[in-house]
């Protein structure tokens, strides 16, 4: 903590024997100066450890070179990677990131928005806890919504493409010969549950298949994943036997879970019921949340929404908007299929 007095441009100017304006030009490569002069100034600046005051620079540039990262929730499992991806991309663009977490409280959010406006951030990236569309914020600078899109179609939003995610899963399962596929969702009222269901049904239909049984909804816990397996296979613990199917075979040969957490619980329950994953029943998750997808037994085939890339993309769009080329509308970012043992055996 060397608390030496801060070095100002005038100090550098004095040491180099030039005017402050010359120092500015020399260090920023502007103006017309002799190379020897630039070198002399650089030398003096280095010697003093001069770091130009970004505050002053901002004031005259009328730009803060700062972007606000407004997270509706407490930067949880989903918004965190988005925030990190964005921060990363911003740093590359010489921008700094102001973190503002609203913890799901509109008052706090409003407070943060005001603070960001007061700081004259060049733009704002808004993220949320879920993919539910949200009300836009009203600020005098560009905004990009990531993960949770804005309800206003004129705003720029970047969201994971669940439809593609489900299509990848269905392609994979069908290619493996699975035909009797069931679906287990999370909370019924959330888009993540319902969109994935609807897309799954559509993708199956496109291949002449039908979902086995009704969609099951509960919450996002492993426990629900376990119980859902019972609901799919029938209550009696041993009875994995299908009605009319070949003797001893379960009623389904694959279960698509709407999250890794659900899938992990599902795998546990299947094993407890004496069924082999994936030999008897293939299982897929969603999110590729490593502590779930890798710790699951077996590890989960799942969909990686690439949330960091999502954040990165949001940052790119925001930077473009700041530079005068705003985007509008919802951009869907294709996810990546991650194949592991829950569908491929020891593959």
Shortest spacing between CB 68 and DNA, in angstroms: 18
The reply on whether position 195 binds a second copy by CB under 8 A is no
- What is the number of other CB atoms lying within 10 angstroms of the CB of residue 327? 16
Work out what residue 140 binds among a second copy, DNA, none; the CB cut-off runs from 5 to 8 Å by kind.
Answer: a second copy
229 CA to centre of own chain: 29
Residue 337's DSSP bridge partners are 303
Instruction: Give the torsion sign (CA, 88, 93, 99, 101).
Output: negative
Q: Binding pattern to DNA, positions 50-89, x when CB under 7 A?
A: x-xx--xx-xxxx---------------------------
Backbone angles phi, psi at 345, to 5 degrees: 65, -130
How big is the CA angle at 254 (ends 248 and 258), to the nearest 5 degrees?
A: 140
Give 6 or 202: the residue with its C-beta nearer to DNA: 6
**Could you give the CA distance from residue 89 to residue 69 in angstroms, rounded to a whole number?**
12
Work out what residue 22 binds among a second copy, DNA, none; the CB cut-off runs from 5 to 8 Å by kind.
Answer: DNA
**Could you give the CA distance from residue 216 to residue 193 in angstroms, rounded to a whole number?**
10
The reply on whether position 133 binds a second copy by CB under 8 A is no
Q: Which of residues 316-345 bind a second copy (CB under 8 A)?
A: none
The reply on whether position 107 binds a second copy by CB under 8 A is no
The reply on whether position 84 binds a second copy by CB under 8 A is yes
How are beta strands 254-257 and 66-71 bridged, if at all? unpaired
Work out what residue 114 binds among a second copy, DNA, none; the CB cut-off runs from 5 to 8 Å by kind.
Answer: a second copy
Using the rule CB under 7 A, give the single segment among 49-57, 191-199, 201-209, 244-252 that binds DNA: 49-57
CB 253 within 8 A of CB 320: no
| DSSP reduced 3-state for 181 | strand
Q: Binding pattern to DNA, positions 25-44, x when CB under 7 A?
A: x-xx-xxxxx-xx-------
Q: Which of 301, 276, 307 is nearest to 89 (CA)?
A: 307
For the record, the structure tokens of 55 come out as 């505050």
For the record, the structure tokens of 17 come out as 């024997």
Whole-Å CA distances, 12 to 27, 30, 59, 328: 11, 17, 21, 45
Work out what residue 100 binds among DNA, a second copy, none; the CB cut-off runs from 5 to 8 Å by kind.
Answer: a second copy
Shortest spacing between CB 26 and a second copy, in angstroms: 17
User: End-to-end CA distance of the chain, in Å?
Assistant: 54
The reply on whether position 323 binds DNA by CB under 7 A is no
Residue 345 is classified by DSSP as: T
The reply on whether position 287 binds a second copy by CB under 8 A is no
CB 300 within 8 A of CB 340: yes
Using the rule CB under 8 A, give the single segment among 30-38, 106-114, 191-199, 247-255 that binds a second copy: 106-114
Interacting residues toward a second copy by CB under 8 A = 1-4, 6, 51-56, 58-59, 64, 66, 69, 74-75, 80, 83-84, 87-88, 91, 96-101, 103, 108, 111-112, 114-115, 117-120, 136, 138-143, 155, 221-223, 261, 265, 291-292, 295
Interacting residues toward DNA by CB under 7 A = 6-10, 17-22, 24-25, 27-28, 30-34, 36-37, 50, 52-53, 56-57, 59-62
């Amino acid at each position: 903590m060397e608390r030496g007095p801060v070095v100002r441009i005038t100090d550098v100017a004095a040491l180099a024997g030039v005017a402050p304006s010359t120092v500015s030009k020399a260090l920023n490569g502007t103006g017309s100066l002799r190379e020897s002069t630039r070198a002399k100034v650089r030398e003096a600046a280095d010697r003093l450890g001069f770091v130009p005051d970004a505050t002053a620079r901002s004031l005259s540039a009328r730009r803060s070179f700062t972007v606000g990262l407004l997270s509706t929730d407490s930067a949880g499992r989903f918004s965190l990677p988005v925030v990190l991806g964005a921060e990363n991309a911003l740093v590359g663009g010489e921008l700094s990131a102001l973190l503002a977490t609203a913890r799901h409280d509109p008052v706090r959010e409003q407070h943060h928005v005001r603070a960001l406006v007061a700081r004259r951030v060049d733009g704002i990236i808004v993220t949320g806890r879920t993919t539910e569309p949200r009300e836009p914020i009203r600020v005098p600078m560009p905004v990009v919504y990531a993960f949770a899109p804005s309800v206003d179609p004129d705003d720029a939003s970047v969201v994971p493409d669940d439809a593609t995610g489900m299509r990848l899963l269905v392609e994979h399962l069908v290619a493996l010969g699975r035909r009797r596929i069931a679906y287990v969702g999370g909370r019924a009222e959330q888009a993540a549950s319902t969109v994935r269901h609807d897309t799954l049904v559509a993708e199956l239909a496109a291949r002449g298949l039908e979902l086995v049984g009704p969609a099951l909804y509960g919450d996002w816990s492993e426990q629900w994943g376990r119980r859902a397996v019972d609901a799919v296979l029938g209550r009696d613990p041993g009875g994995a036997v299908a009605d009319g199917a070949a003797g001893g075979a379960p009623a389904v040969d694959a279960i698509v879970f709407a999250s890794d957490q659900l899938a992990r619980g599902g795998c546990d329950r299947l094993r407890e019921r004496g069924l082999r994953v994936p030999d008897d029943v293939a299982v897929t998750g969603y999110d590729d949340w490593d502590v779930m997808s890798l710790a699951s037994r077996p590890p989960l085939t799942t969909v990686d929404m690439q949330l960091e890339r999502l954040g990165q993309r949001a940052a790119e769009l925001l930077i473009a908007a700041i530079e005068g080329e705003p985007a509008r509308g919802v951009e869907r970012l294709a996810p990546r299929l991650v194949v592991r043992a829950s569908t491929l055996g020891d593959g």
